[in-house]
């Protein structure tokens, strides 16, 4: 990559000391394989701990009553942010927040557990199929002094 055409500020933010900063968070295993975990900008900061939505979404989607899940951070007076899960139930299923909590409690650290669950009909996506996480997050942060993109 040489530059973002006509976007010098974006180019300077992305190209730093010869490295391309993609915004992805991941790790390299002992065999040299690279694993991408999530997007850094999607991380939720709960009591000083980074929580990556993809981890929670992957576990939630293993529940037999969950077709799809999207997790975002919502403002929280005590912890800074809390985990809010949007859940699309499997057709004909009606999982409850309690069902989901009981499913997750042995699979995730306590600080990663959603504080709230919201059931929705579909996940908003752009024309190429990318989840519009910003749309789901927006209502929590629109009246807040702190902003999360």
Beta bridge partners of 27: 35
In the block, residue with structure tokens 């900061």: 45
- Res 144: pLDDT: 63
In the block, residue with structure tokens 């859940």: 87
> Which range of residues forms the domain containing residue 93?
43-141
- Res 146: pLDDT: 56
Clarify whether residues 34 and 103 are in a common domain.
no
Question: Shortest CA distance to 52 belongs to which of 76, 33, 26?
Answer: 26
User: Which tokens is 28 given?
Assistant: 């390299």
- Res 31: pLDDT: 93
CA distance 109 to 44: 14
The HSE-up count of residue 45 (CA atoms within 13 Å, CB side) is 9
Clarify whether residues 109 and 125 are in a common domain.
yes
For every one of its 149 residues, what pLDDT tens digit does the chain have, with 9 covering 90 and above? Answer: 888 999 999 999 889 998 888 877 778 899 999 888 777 888 999 999 999 999 999 999 999 999 999 999 999 989 999 999 999 999 999 999 999 999 999 999 999 999 999 999 999 999 999 999 999 998 888 776 655 54
Domain count, the chain: 2
CATH number of the domain at 117, please.
3.30.300.30
- Res 37: pLDDT: 75
CA distance 108 to 43: 16
91 burial (CB, 10 Å; 0-12 / 13-18 / 19+) is exposed
- Res 1: pLDDT: 82
- Res 145: pLDDT: 60
């Amino acid at each position: 990559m040489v530059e973002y055409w006509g976007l010098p500020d974006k180019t300077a933010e992305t190209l730093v000391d010869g490295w391309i900063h993609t915004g992805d968070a991941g790790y390299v295993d002992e065999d040299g394989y690279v694993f991408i975990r999530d997007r850094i900008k999607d991380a939720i900061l709960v009591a000083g701990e980074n929580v990556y939505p993809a981890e929670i979404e992957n576990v939630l989607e293993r529940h037999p009553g969950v077709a799809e899940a999207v997790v975002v951070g919502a403002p929280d007076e005590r912890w800074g942010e809390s985990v809010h899960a949007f859940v699309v139930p499997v057709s004909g299923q009606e999982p409850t927040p309690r069902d989901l909590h009981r499913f997750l409690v042995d699979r995730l650290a306590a600080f990663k557990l959603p504080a709230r669950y919201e059931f929705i009909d579909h996940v908003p996506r752009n024309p190429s199929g990318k989840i519009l996480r910003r749309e789901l997050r927006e209502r929590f942060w629109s009246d807040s002094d702190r902003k999360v993109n």
